[in-house]
Amino acid sequence: MSTVEPTGTPISHAEAAQQRVQELRRWRELIPHFVMPASIDATRRLIPAASVSPEFIELTNVAVANQPALVRNEGITPAEVRDLVSYADAYGPLVDEHEAFAQHLRHSVTAARNLAGSEALTTYSLAQRLAKKPKTAHLAAYVADMRRALGRVRKVSPEAVAQREAARAAKAAERAAKAAERAAKTPPAKPAPTDPVK
């Protein structure tokens, strides 16, 4: 299967997905105040100040506008603060829509994998049944390959092999110790009578 571009040219899903990725990346240039987080917990560290109420922010704007003592050289103007609040209010719903879209797209991807996987499992089940019949016994090789790929054949890790061998060695040593203990408790056998020399 493939998708069709508006020009009518069929392209692969990989190419179409890559084009959508490029379109999303162009949003970085189109959306003002777009900031990439500098670390994994960068957003979490912004939450305390980002959570103050709009009323509180507006009260500080009014105070700065009317009290010269509150004006800071490194601060931003009340108009710029209001613009940031307006930006956050406007783009918040876009974030929600984008997250919903991402969730739906993830569901679509999972649904596609589910359909492909269900079809493959049905084929595997049919091949297993047919491989038991003399007429279609040649399918056994395909079934073995499918079973390996499915992961139904357990691969034993080197650690598990080492543990199993250590357990066997410990049991063998235990058996040897018990045998030695039994041998020590058993009285020595009486020598067999010898025939007198004639």
Q: What is the DSSP string of 123-184?
A: HHHHHHHHHTSGGGGGGHHHHHHHHHHHT-SPPPPHHHHHHHHHHHHHHHHHHHHHHHHHHH
Whole-number Å distance between alpha carbons of 128 and 96: 47
pLDDT of residue 148: 92
CB-CB contact of 81 with 87 (8 Å): no
CA angle at residue 10 from 5 to 11, to 5 degrees? 85
CB-CB contact of 53 with 43 (8 Å): no
34 vs 179, more confident: 34
Q: What are the counts of helices (DSSP H) followed by strands (DSSP E) for the chain?
A: 6, 2
182 vs 56, more confident: 56
CB-CB contact of 146 with 127 (8 Å): yes
Domain boundaries, the chain: 48-151, 155-182
pLDDT in tens, 22-33: 998 999 899 999
pLDDT of residue 143: 95
- State the DSSP code for 190: P
pLDDT in tens, 93-139: 999 999 999 999 999 999 999 999 999 999 999 999 999 999 999 99
Percent of the chain with pLDDT over 70: 87
pLDDT of residue 9: 72
The pLDDT-based confidence of 164 (bands split at 50, 70, 90) is confident
CB-CB contact of 142 with 127 (8 Å): yes
Percent of the chain with pLDDT over 90: 66
